[in-house]
Amino acid sequence: MITIKDKTFVPFLEPAKLEKRIIELADQLDKNYQDKNPLFIVVLKGAFLFAAELFKHIQIPCEVTFVRLSSYQNMESSGRVKQIIGLEEDVQDRHVVIVEDIVDTGLTMAQLTAQLSQKGAASVEIATLLHKPDALREDVNIRYLGFEIENRFVVGFGLDYEEQGRNLAGVFVLSEATEPERRTAQSDKATK
């Protein structure tokens, strides 16, 4: 159990389990992009640890670049995607793989994949460490998925709570004991 600011988190995905799955994803990418020289676009800030581990195991020739997008305010998606640092590389006729930490609402990925397709990418795929299908509001195709998780707030391995916790080696989930207001709000909605 750890405390970050005013919230308590408990272990969820251990480092060894993360590493095993990331190696499997790297193997899939190596097979599918053999002789294609893909461009990997890492979404900052959250995906930096996932990307670092992934690229340790990718053996094919490839290029890596970074973009910074944001749709979060505190612990919830704002519903608006704000591009902070844009893409400088030409993606025309390139096979592109977006490397993301977590896909929940799908808003960020839908906007980024659409932009890359408009710029002439030969293909655009998503590789994400985590996915919350229950939070999805925009349909996105995730070809390379680490773990599907419940719609709960997680930190660690690049994911943050108010910019804290990114450096944790594993993934931690918000403790049930600190979520009573969330459960109460959900119960109120169910009874109305």
Q: What are phi and psi of 106, to 5 degrees?
A: 85, -5
The pLDDT of residue 60 is 98
Which run of H or E residues covers position 31?
helix 15-32
What's this model's pTM, rounded to 2 decimal places?
Answer: 0.86
Beta bridge partner(s), residue 2:
9
Catalogue all structural domains in the chain, each as residue range(s) with its CATH number.
13-167 (3.40.50.2020)
Residues 51, 39: Cα–Cα separation, whole Å? 13
Residues 156, 46: Cα–Cα separation, whole Å? 9
Number of residues assigned to the chain: 192
Question: Can you tell me whether residue 89 is helix, strand or coil?
Answer: coil
Helices (H), 79-170: 107-118
- Extract the tokens encoding 46: 């959250």
Contact 37, 62 (CB under 8 A): yes
Contact 56, 29 (CB under 8 A): no
The pLDDT of residue 185 is 37
Residue position matching structure tokens 């919350």 = 132
The pLDDT of residue 83 is 57
The pLDDT of residue 176 is 83
Contact 154, 131 (CB under 8 A): no
The pLDDT of residue 11 is 97
Mean pLDDT per 10-residue section of the chain, whose length is 192 residues: 95 98 98 97 95 98 89 55 71 97 91 90 98 94 97 96 95 79 38 34
The pLDDT of residue 48 is 96
- Annotated catalytic residues are 104
The pLDDT of residue 54 is 98
Residues 172, 170: Cα–Cα separation, whole Å? 7
